[in-house]
Structure 1
């Protein structure tokens, strides 16, 4: 006799998969928490002469999904931004900044100057060097200029080699742009918005009469649109929240918004 799955205990959501119209995976999250699926409706009421309700007609449904991912997911952020991640490679180098601080007092003299080897070749041969304030931030009033020869207040650059100013002491901040072959770029643009996709949630559940057996339940939203509204928190303890709407399968025969699937043989292996 087939299991009826009348009552279910929800253990936890496992992961969420986002797919495009071709079935290609365009993003995924596996640290889900606080997942909520809310269905609301619109109504049309008929009342009598004194305003008493005679009949209520339900005219439409709306389904909103909200959730959190315990860690920051770049693929989820790309879906929220409405733009794909740009992946750096040997054939697709991405220009990105590098900022770091060095202590010039620990650098030995090479002749009459101190020389420092940068980790990269600065793009366009441009480097910005500033002294630091007492609080450790760059001091705009202590800016060193680049020239063809080093002096008391000027430095030179040859490929990666910096020849520092002769009067430089203490800690300085170095900033420049460089080309990167391994990394990603995520852009939030004013005119880009999330596209509709397919969203599948995998959830672990158990039958109250068989609590030791965990099974996979799948909640499938054939037409899901991520909300572009999001907050990026830079605190360790915070989670990445996201939300979206399930859209009616307009071309489908039954107007599906989401479907829950549960099979007897889809058991979670220990």
Structure 2
């Protein structure tokens, strides 16, 4: 009999959110750390006339879960918004923005894409990095200072821009029909669905320290939190959190359970 009692967690590995009934995987957090399960309870106290505690009864338990993935995972982030990761692979299915900084000394510029009608803007950028008033689209030819011409993908700038020493760049902004893109939407009125969350980690028996086994923590009914932070820097991480819910319709009202199979031994790497 595998009578495990002492457990030393070595590391967390990954986590999977799926549908408890169908097994459909919604998303995976592939490289996790700093897993924390904070269990709290509500209480009801019986006291005497002086307020001294006679009996404390616990009425309800809750488990809050937090973990960190080494990088932003789009599928998991979409799950926290209450939407799905949208993968577009057909030209013309979606419009994507594009911004280009170009040399103002040239008279014209060829866009790499066919712009969506009405989305092209051209704006001067000055030496201090600030922007000036955007040029307007001309019905005919470009003028000297304020109007640019657009013919298919070719932009002709106002003719005196190249002679203005104060203008160091031109910002061209437009939208185009995009193929092969991923879209993540965060709606104000959509929230994450309940999932089954399984966290996988490595552990050892204190009396068998050199044998690492895989252990599993399963939350049958887990509610992800929509409260997240996205940091646009190369050392940023993705914090994932939520709350275990009672598995209300099951015979056992479990918040979570842990499983430690004896035969699930981590193989040594060559």
* Superposition pairs of residues 128-139 of structure 1, within 5 angstroms: 128-139=121-132
Partner of 1:212: 210
| Partner Cα distance (2:112, 2:175) in 1 | 12
* Superposition pairs of residues 38-53 of structure 1, within 5 angstroms: 38-53=38-53
Runs of 4+ in 1 over 6 A off after TM superposition: none
Return the offset for 1:216.
Answer: 0.8
Is 2:183 aligned against 1:185? yes
* Superposition pairs of residues 22-171 of structure 1, within 5 angstroms: 22-90=22-90, 93-105=93-105, 107=106, 114-140=107-133, 143-147=134-138, 148-153=140-145, 154-169=147-162, 170-171=168-169
Structure number with higher strand proportion: 1
User: Does the Cα contact within 8 Å between 1:215 and 1:264 map onto a contact in 2?
Assistant: yes
| Equivalent pairs, count | 260
User: Does the Cα contact within 8 Å between 2:90 and 2:179 map onto a contact in 1?
Assistant: yes
| Partner Cα distance (1:217, 1:254) in 2 | 21
Return the offset for 1:210.
Answer: 2.2
Query: Which is further off, 116-125 or 258-267?
Result: 116-125
- The SS at the match of 1:238 is coil
Return the offset for 1:125.
Answer: 4.8
Unaligned runs of 5+ in 1: 108-113
| Partner Cα distance (2:7, 2:232) in 1 | 37
What is the TM-score when the length of structure 1 is the normalising length?
0.90
Return the offset for 1:253.
Answer: 0.6
Deviations 1:102-155 (A, max 9, x none): 1133x4xxxxxx332211111125310011022324323xx2222232232322
| Partner Cα distance (1:137, 1:87) in 2 | 36
User: Does the Cα contact within 8 Å between 2:223 and 2:243 map onto a contact in 1?
Assistant: yes
Query: Which is further off, 61-70 or 118-127?
Result: 118-127
| Partner Cα distance (1:91, 1:195) in 2 | 31
Deviations 1:179-222 (A, max 9, x none): 21111122221111111111110111112222222111111111
What is the TM-score when the length of structure 2 is the normalising length?
0.90
Partner of 2:165: none
- The SS at the match of 2:230 is coil
